[in-house]
Amino acid sequence: MTQRPLRLALHCANSRLGDVAANVKVVADAALAKDADLVVFPEMFLSGYNIGDDVQRLALTLDDERLEPLRKAAKKAGTHIVVGGPRKARAGVTHNSAFCIEPDGSTTAYDKRALATFTTFQEGLFFRPGRTNPVWETKLGTLGLSICYDLFFPEFQRRQALAGADILLNISASPTTSQRFFEALFPARAIENAAFVAYTNCVGPQDAIVFWGGAQAYGPRGTQLGRLEPMKAGRLLVALDLDDLAPAREFRPTLRDAALEDLQDLP
Percent of the chain at pLDDT above 70?
Answer: 98
Reported as type and span, the H/E element at residue 22 is helix 20-31
Residue 119: what residue type?
T
Residue 212, C-beta contacts closer than 8 angstroms, at least 6 positions apart: 174, 175, 176, 178, 179, 201, 203, 230, 231
Tens-digit pLDDT profile for residues 177-206 = 999 999 999 999 999 999 999 999 999 998
Report how far apart, in Å, the C-alpha atoms of 27 and of each of 31, 70, 97 are: 6, 7, 16
Range of lowest pLDDT (41-45, 89-93, 218-222): 89-93
Strand 167-172 vs strand 141-147: parallel, antiparallel, or unpaired? parallel
Instruction: Grade residue 120 by pLDDT with cuts at 50, 70 and 90.
Output: confident
Region 240-254: what's the mean pLDDT? 95
Region 85-89: what's the mean pLDDT? 97
Q: How far apart are the first and last CA of the chain?
A: 43
Per-residue confidence (pLDDT) for residue 1, from 0 to 100: 45
Tens-digit pLDDT profile for residues 43-75 = 999 999 999 889 999 999 999 999 999 999 999
- pTM score of the predicted model: 0.96
**Domains, the chain, ranges and CATH?**
6-264 (3.60.110.10)
Per-residue confidence (pLDDT) for residue 265, from 0 to 100: 61
Instruction: Grade residue 266 by pLDDT with cuts at 50, 70 and 90.
Output: low
Percent of the chain at pLDDT above 90?
Answer: 89
